[in-house]
């Protein structure tokens, strides 16, 4: 790694940084996509590894993240192209660039440390701020709108489905009694009253905040949209690497990789194949890669990260 890269990375290593570079094995003059470029940490490593002629398209809906990424990746000049767009529009963005057959695609799902640490973004119950939770501040729906406008039943369903929250009904009932809730601390306090105790290392409001963030940003829907687009976009032997932090996301990625690595996806009880499905991927990781104990110690937020890698046939 170049000296300037080492200097930058001393201040902050993104989650599973070395594992991502190893998984994508970038080379020159390959083309790569970072669909969640954030502050540019993983993108830096990819661009450094594919020099002198490799290029990277970085996508993000968060204007603050793109501003940081632009500053940090400016050293790579025109090799780094950053666009404010969702990774769900991957095919459209590649078509505009005239790119086809890219060598690697990377997705780091969920909110970034930068977003969690910005109180005004409303992602964390640890900081007092408005109930916002939008990756894209231009989109209309905020967490406050869901919390205050959904019926108690629909709110309970949301917490159960997106947060896998076992106390979803109690929490939704307590929220309905306390409405309107406009700040992160108001919501966290309502959840704590409903649950009344911590669950190991998890704060009682963890799953509630996670569920609302996923719903606000339609994260599962976007993931379902980008996965098939990624297969189309990859060149043969190109790789797709996905870091997830939530069991629902990891399950979606796992099931997609498993299905697309099989020639037949007919029901097991069906004696003759009629689906005409052909495998398009090879699973590089049958089991997800997790951070080391040392990484978790230096960055506790990495503890729930799971990396899955697949290669296009």
Nearest Cα neighbor of 130 from 115, 112, 142 is 142
- Please say which residue of 197, 217, 237 terminates a domain: 217
Q: Do residue 205 and residue 227 come from a single domain?
A: no
Answer whether 158's CB lies under 8 Å from 170's CB.
no
Q: Do residue 194 and residue 282 come from a single domain?
A: no
**Residue 296 placed within a domain:** yes
Number of domains in the chain: 2
Q: Do residue 13 and residue 108 come from a single domain?
A: yes
State the residue for tokens 């369903």. Answer: 157
Q: Do residue 177 and residue 233 come from a single domain?
A: no
Beta sheet of 306-312, edge-to-edge order: 80-84, 55-60, 31-34, 102-108, 234-244, 306-312, 281-283
Instruction: CATH number of the domain at 161, please.
Output: 1.10.150.170
Q: Do residue 107 and residue 13 come from a single domain?
A: yes
Q: Do residue 102 and residue 129 come from a single domain?
A: no
Is the model's pLDDT at 109 over the cut of 50?
yes
Distance CA 55, CA 95 (A): 15
Query: What pLDDT is recorded for position 12?
Result: 58
Is the model's pLDDT at 259 over the cut of 60?
yes
Taking the alpha carbons of 243, 136, 186, 125 in that order, is the dihedral positive or negative? Answer: positive
**Residue 119 placed within a domain:** no
> Residue 113's pLDDT band (boundaries 50, 70, 90)?
confident
**Residue 276 placed within a domain:** yes
Q: Do residue 88 and residue 230 come from a single domain?
A: yes
- Please say which residue of 162, 194, 217 terminates a domain: 217
Query: What pLDDT is recorded for position 30?
Result: 98
Residues 6+ apart with CB under 8 A from 141: 134, 216
- Please say which residue of 217, 241, 268 terminates a domain: 217
Q: Do residue 170 and residue 230 come from a single domain?
A: no
pLDDT tens for residues 72-104?
999 999 999 999 999 999 999 999 999 999 999
Distance CA 289, CA 287 (A): 7
Mean pLDDT, residues 282-305 taken together: 94
Mean pLDDT, residues 269-290 taken together: 94
pLDDT tens for residues 45-64?
999 999 999 999 999 999 99
Calculate ∠ Cα 81-312-112, nearest 5°. Answer: 45
Q: Do residue 150 and residue 225 come from a single domain?
A: no
Is the model's pLDDT at 205 over the cut of 90?
yes
Q: Do residue 77 and residue 223 come from a single domain?
A: yes
The H or E element that residue 160 is part of is helix 152-163
> Residue 112's pLDDT band (boundaries 50, 70, 90)?
confident
Q: Do residue 240 and residue 174 come from a single domain?
A: no
Peptide bond into 52 cis (omega under 30): yes
Give the residue numbers spanning the domain of 226: 3-114+219-312
Instruction: CATH number of the domain at 248, please.
Output: 3.40.50.150
Burial readout 247-271 (b: 16 or more C-beta within 10 A, e: otherwise):
ebbbebbbebbeebbeeeeeeeeee
pLDDT tens for residues 115-167?
988 999 999 999 899 999 999 999 999 999 999 999 999 999 999 999 999 99
| 265 or 102: which leads in pLDDT | 102
Mean pLDDT, residues 8-20 taken together: 75
Query: What pLDDT is recorded for position 200?
Result: 65
Residues 6+ apart with CB under 8 A from 199: none
Query: What pLDDT is recorded for position 124?
Result: 93
Mean pLDDT, residues 278-301 taken together: 95
């Amino acid at each position: 790694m170049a000296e300037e890269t080492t200097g930058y990375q001393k201040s902050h290593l993104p989650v599973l940084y070395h594992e991502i570079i190893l998984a994508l094995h970038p080379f020159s003059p390959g083309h790569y996509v970072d669909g969640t470029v954030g502050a540019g940490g993983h993108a830096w490593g990819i661009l450094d590894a594919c020099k002198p002629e490799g290029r990277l398209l970085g996508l993000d809906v968060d204007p603050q993240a793109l501003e940081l990424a632009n500053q940090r990746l400016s050293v790579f000049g025109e090799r780094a192209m950053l666009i404010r767009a969702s990774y769900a529009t991957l095919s459209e963005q590649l078509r505009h660039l005239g790119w086809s057959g890219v060598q690697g695609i990377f997705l780091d799902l969920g909110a970034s440390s930068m977003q969690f640490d910005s109180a005004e973004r409303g992602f964390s119950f640890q900081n007092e701020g408005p109930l916002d939770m939008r990756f894209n501040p231009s989109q209309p729906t905020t967490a406050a709108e869901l919390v205050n406008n959904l019926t108690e039943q629909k709110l309970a369903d949301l917490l159960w489905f997106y947060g896998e929250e076992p106390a979803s009904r109690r929490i939704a009932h307590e929220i309905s009694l306390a409405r309107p809730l406009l700040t992160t601390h108001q919501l966290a306090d309502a959840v704590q009253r409903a649950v009344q105790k911590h669950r190991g290392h998890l704060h009682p409001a963890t799953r509630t905040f996670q569920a609302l963030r996923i719903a606000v940003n339609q994260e599962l829907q976007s993931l379902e949209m980008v996965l098939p687009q990624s297969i189309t976009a990859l060149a043969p032997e190109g790789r797709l690497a996905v870091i997830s932090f939530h069991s629902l996301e990891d399950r979606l990625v796992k099931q997609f990789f498993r299905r697309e690595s099989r020639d037949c996806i007919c029901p097991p009880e069906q004696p003759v194949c009629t689906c005409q499905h052909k495998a398009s991927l090879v699973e590089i990781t049958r089991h997800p890669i997790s951070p080391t104990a040392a990484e978790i110690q230096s960055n506790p937020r990495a503890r729930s990260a799971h990396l899955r890698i697949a290669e296009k046939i």
